[in-house]
Amino acid sequence: MLKIIVIGGGYAGLSFIKNLDYSITKSANITLISNTKFHYKSILLHNVVSHKDDITIPYEELLPNFINFINDEVIEIKDKVIITKNDKYEYDILVVALGFSSDDFGIKGVKEYTYSMINYDNCLELNQILEKQSNSDIVICGAGFSGIELIGNLANKFKNSKDIKLKCIEAMPTILPMFDSTNALYAKKYLENLGVEFYLGCKILEVKQDSIMVENNGKQEYIKSDFTLWTAGVKGNNVIDDSKIFESKKSKVEVDEYLNPINCNNKNIFIIGDCALLKDNKSGKFYAPTAQIALKQGKYLAQAISSKIKNKKFDKKFVYKNQGTICSLGKDCAIGIIGGKAVKGKLASVLKKLIELKWDLKLKGIKALF
């Protein structure tokens, strides 16, 4: 039997498994290795930090019984073998879907004094720390997508609190640079009305235990902080750096249009999701890491590998078209762009919930009609 191993069961890994043609199990043995016994929806991690939401579903409820499940932590990927904390596993085809970690950009103090949203368990810990805050200045470093989704939740949670101050530091002159300026300004005003203080155009130089040193208009300033959350950037998984068969950049590997790692001799290794760096041929830039592209890569790869095993012709390359993005501002408000059109307010929030519902239905094996 052919051995197919998937490492990581987030959006990319599960999308691969859910889209396979299961008739291939006559000739292939499929195994998922994950460091958790449950799938967690990473796009909702900010809800765990702010409201302790349960965003998990046990794999035993999700996986068909002919998929083997191993709960173990991958340590290193070698040619034809995976090394885990407790064992090693040989593979013929490997799908790497290990997700993201936080990027400190080498800034002093970030590792020691900040907290990042990385996985479900670590966000539960952040929630415990958050609940203990009183008379505190809470600082979110980074006004990109995940930082603003977190600050939106916190701003709604603490809007009536006199002793919690929320601050957001961003090096760029605006928040949410991926959206048009009207929408980004709408988001900023909405959050300011809930009491958030923005420090835009402030470059973080160092994080200290009780403050953040920034450069603002050429001058050094200190911004007081009792609890610092780091949402300034993500990279891939450290396992990538520790695996000598890859050439890694920021714990990610550049892949070609078939999702094979570039400069790797083993053509039966595929990398999908946040560990993959894929170039958009039009812009020459790498695609941003999102659940949306992770899901599409998983689906494409499932079709490609199913066809290969069934000896069916499949010569399509992976092509990506962004269908839009919606950033939640907490509660019933969001901004976004869908089908090229800007949306905001309650409508955007409803659309965001529909996108989340689509993945829930897919996990249950139901095809959404929207």
Ligand X SMILES: Cc1cc2nc3c(=O)[nH]c(=O)nc-3n(C[C@H](O)[C@H](O)[C@H](O)COP(=O)(O)OP(=O)(O)OC[C@H]3O[C@@H](n4cnc5c(N)ncnc54)[C@H](O)[C@@H]3O)c2cc1C
How many whole angstroms separate alpha carbon 186 and alpha carbon 183? 5
How many whole angstroms separate alpha carbon 24 and alpha carbon 332? 44
Contacts with 201 (C-beta within 8 Å, 6 or more apart), sequence order: 170, 171, 172, 173, 216, 217
Kindly state the number of chain residues that form the binding site for ligand X, as judged by CB under 6 A: 35
Locate the DSSP E strands across 231-333: 234-235, 248-249, 252-254, 269-271, 276-277, 324-328
Q: Which of residues 137-196 bind ligand X (CB under 6 A)?
A: 145-146, 149
Q: Which of residues 229-258 bind ligand X (CB under 6 A)?
A: 237, 239
**Least spacing, CB of residue 209 vs ligand X, in Å:** 25
User: Which H or E run includes 364?
Assistant: none
**Least spacing, CB of residue 158 vs ligand X, in Å:** 18
**Stretch of 22-30, 36-44, 53-61, 135-143 contacting ligand X, by CB under 6 A:** 36-44
Residues 263, 267, 272, 274: what is their CA dihedral angle, to the nearest 10 degrees? -20
Q: Which of residues 71-100 bind ligand X (CB under 6 A)?
A: 73-74, 97-100
What one-letter code names the amino acid at 287? Answer: Y
∠ CA 230-143-290, nearest 5°, is 85
CB-nearer residue toward ligand X: 24 or 43: 43
Q: Which of 11, 270, 300, 359 binds ligand X (CB under 6 A)?
A: 11
CB-nearer residue toward ligand X: 11 or 198: 11
How many whole angstroms separate alpha carbon 73 and alpha carbon 36? 8
CB-nearer residue toward ligand X: 200 or 351: 351
Q: Which of 5, 43, 96, 143 binds ligand X (CB under 6 A)?
A: 43
**Stretch of 184-192, 209-217, 285-293, 361-369 contacting ligand X, by CB under 6 A:** 285-293
CB-nearer residue toward ligand X: 214 or 291: 291
CB-nearer residue toward ligand X: 45 or 304: 45
102: which strand partners?
234
Contacts with 102 (C-beta within 8 Å, 6 or more apart), sequence order: 116, 118, 230, 233, 234, 235
CB-nearer residue toward ligand X: 211 or 273: 273
User: Which H or E run includes 224?
Assistant: strand 219-224
Site for ligand X contains 273 (CB under 6 A) = yes
Q: Which of 4, 5, 30, 45 binds ligand X (CB under 6 A)?
A: 45
Q: What is the DSSP string of 93-147?
A: EEEE----EE--TT-BTHHHHEE---SHHHHHHHHHHHHT--SEEEEEE--SHHH
Q: Which of 48, 94, 117, 155 binds ligand X (CB under 6 A)?
A: 117
- Residues near ligand X (CB under 6 A) are 7-13, 33-36, 42-43, 45-46, 73-74, 97-100, 117, 119, 145-146, 149, 237, 239, 273-274, 289-292, 294
